[in-house]
């Protein structure tokens, strides 16, 4: 259902105030109190409070009380769809000296906050948005890999082996597949020490691999390159063993055709709803399919993660392509 004219006009009016725009930019990056916003923007506290009240009432902000202070943060997850679309369109074009000055003063305010209070107490409830030495997403991901025990893995569109370098030590067998011979050579050089890693230069839509030969298939940011996404999913289903799992990461549906073209994407992303339908049609049992992250750089792409499984008792269904192994020997004449 679309948005009514009155609601759209009200939202545009809300976003049409320069001070509210400054507050939204700041609160899109950090959780800040009224006092801190007043110091950063040099706008009187009463006006800051009034603007925050209007933004919260419109569903753009959430707040959290800590002692006698109230901290505000942009609430994109629960923001009305029309407001989110308007904000993303506006934010992707913002580039102003006043915003740069606000960012500099915000850094000073946050530094003063850290000096004045115990760090964990100051960021409680928002730790993922604040830097701490050694506490990074990369470090956390590398630590979690230690908990992973993989079987035979196919990494579709593996690139030069960065993911393989991380996961291969936890796998029985790891196959890097990419259509670029140069990229595969780079992966082979990176992983020369890994005895359990194999390298295949082939099209992800026509795998030269046997039916049911993998426990896991990984597809990280490659589905947008597929001529036939449905055919790809069916092909990956074919090489999975019953009970095997697919982990798929791709961009959410977007309108940035110029950027997609620059990276040779054939599709402008896949919404969770559309991806879920494609997976189900290919025969998968879909466990989760949702937007899992939002990039922090313009144009703020949303990233979809899907976890799906080949049913234990299911048969590979025909999807307009051969379902027999391309490695199978030809049958003998009677």
Domain 137-309 is in which class?
Answer: alpha beta
Q: Is the pLDDT of residue 318 over 60?
A: no
Task: Look over the chain and give the mean of its residue pLDDT values, rounded to a whole number.
Answer: 86
In terms of DSSP H, where are the helices of the chain? Answer: 5-15, 18-29, 34-41, 45-57, 81-91, 97-116, 119-122, 137-145, 162-167, 181-190, 229-239, 257-262, 272-281
Q: Tell me, what's the pLDDT at 276?
A: 97
As beta bridge partners, residue 246 has 217, 308
Residue 326 has pLDDT above 50, yes or no: no
Q: What pLDDT does 38 receive?
A: 93
Residue 57's pLDDT is 87
Give the highest mean pLDDT range of 31-45, 89-103, 189-203: 189-203
Identify the sign of the CA torsion 166, 169, 175, 180.
positive
pLDDT over threshold 60, residue 328:
no
* Domain boundaries 5-124, CATH class: mainly alpha
Q: Cα(218)–Cα(128) distance, rounded to whole angstroms?
A: 26
Worst-scoring range by mean pLDDT, 183-192, 265-274, 307-316?
307-316
What's the mean pLDDT in 16-39?
A: 89
Do the beta carbons of residue 164 and residue 198 sit within 8 Å? no
What does the alpha-carbon distance between residue 60 and residue 223 come to, in Å, rounded to a whole number? 32
Residue 51: pLDDT band by 50, 70, 90 thresholds? very high
- The mean per-residue pLDDT over the stretch 234-258 comes to 97
- DSSP secondary structure string for all residues of 252-292: PP---HHHHHHTT-SSS---HHHHHHHHHHTT-EEEEEEEE
Q: Which of 136, 116, 102, 115 is nearest to 30 (CA)?
A: 102
> What is the tens place of the pLDDT at every residue in 263-288?
999 999 999 999 999 999 999 999 99
- Whether 129 has a pLDDT exceeding 60, the answer reads yes
Confidence of residue 65 (pLDDT cuts 50, 70, 90): confident
pLDDT at 12 over 80: no
Instruction: Pick the range with the lowest mean pLDDT from 48-52, 59-63, 177-181, 209-213.
Output: 59-63
Residue ranges of the domains in the chain? 5-124, 137-309
* DSSP-based three-state secondary structure for 226: coil
Tens-digit pLDDT profile for residues 134-184: 878 788 888 988 999 999 999 999 999 999 999 999 999 999 999 999 999
More confident residue, 244 or 20: 244
Query: Which residues pair with residue 70 across a beta bridge?
Result: 65
Residue 327 has pLDDT above 50, yes or no: no
Instruction: Give the pLDDT score at 150.
Output: 96
333 pLDDT above the threshold of 60: no
Residue 126 has pLDDT above 80, yes or no: no
| Mean pLDDT value of segment 298-320 | 79
Q: Tokens at residue 140, please?
A: 């956390």
Residue 311's SS3 state is: coil
Q: How confident is the model at residue 211 (pLDDT cuts 50, 70, 90)?
A: very high
Measured CA to CA, the distance from residue 279 to residue 290 in angstroms comes to 13
CA torsion sign, 123 to 126 to 127 to 132? Answer: negative
Distance CA 124, CA 119 (A): 8
Confidence of residue 7 (pLDDT cuts 50, 70, 90): low
pLDDT at 119: 62
């Amino acid at each position: 259902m679309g948005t009514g004219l009155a609601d759209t006009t009200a939202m545009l009016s809300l976003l049409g105030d320069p001070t509210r725009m400054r507050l939204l930019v700041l609160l899109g990056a950090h959780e800040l109190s009224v006092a801190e916003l007043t110091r950063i923007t040099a706008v009187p506290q009463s006006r800051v409070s009034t603007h925050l009240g209007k933004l919260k009432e419109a569903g753009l902000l959430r707040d959290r009380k800590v002692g006698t202070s109230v901290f505000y943060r942009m609430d994109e997850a629960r923001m009305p769809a029309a407001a989110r679309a308007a904000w993303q369109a506006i934010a992707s074009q913002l580039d102003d000296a006043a915003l740069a000055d606000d960012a500099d003063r915000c850094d000073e305010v946050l530094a003063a906050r850290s000096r004045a209070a115990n760090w964990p107490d100051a960021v409680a409830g928002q730790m993922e948005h604040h830097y701490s030495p050694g506490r990074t997403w990369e470090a956390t991901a590398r630590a979690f890999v230690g908990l992973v025990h993989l079987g035979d893995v196919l990494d579709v569109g593996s690139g030069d082996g960065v993911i393989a370098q991380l996961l291969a030590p936890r796998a029985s067998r790891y196959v890097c597949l990419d259509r670029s011979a140069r990229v595969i050579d780079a992966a082979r050089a990176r992983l020369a020490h890994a005895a359990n890693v194999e390298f295949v230069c082939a099209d992800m839509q026509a795998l030269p691999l046997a039916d049911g030969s993998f426990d896991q298939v990984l597809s990280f940011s490659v589905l947008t390159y597929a001529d036939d996404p449905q055919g790809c999913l069916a092909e990956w289903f074919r090489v999975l063993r019953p009970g095997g799992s697919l982990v798929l990461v791709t961009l959410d549906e977007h309108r940035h055709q110029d950027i997609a073209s620059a990276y040779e994407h054939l599709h402008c992303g896949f919404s969770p709803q559309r991806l879920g339908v494609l997976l189900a049609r290919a025969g998968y049992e879909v466990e989760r399919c949702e937007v899992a992250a939002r990039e922090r750089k313009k144009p703020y792409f949303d990233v979809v993660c899907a976890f799906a499984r080949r049913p234990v008792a299911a048969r590979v269904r025909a999807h307009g392509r051969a379902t027999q192994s391309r490695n199978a020997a030809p049958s003998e004449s009677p």
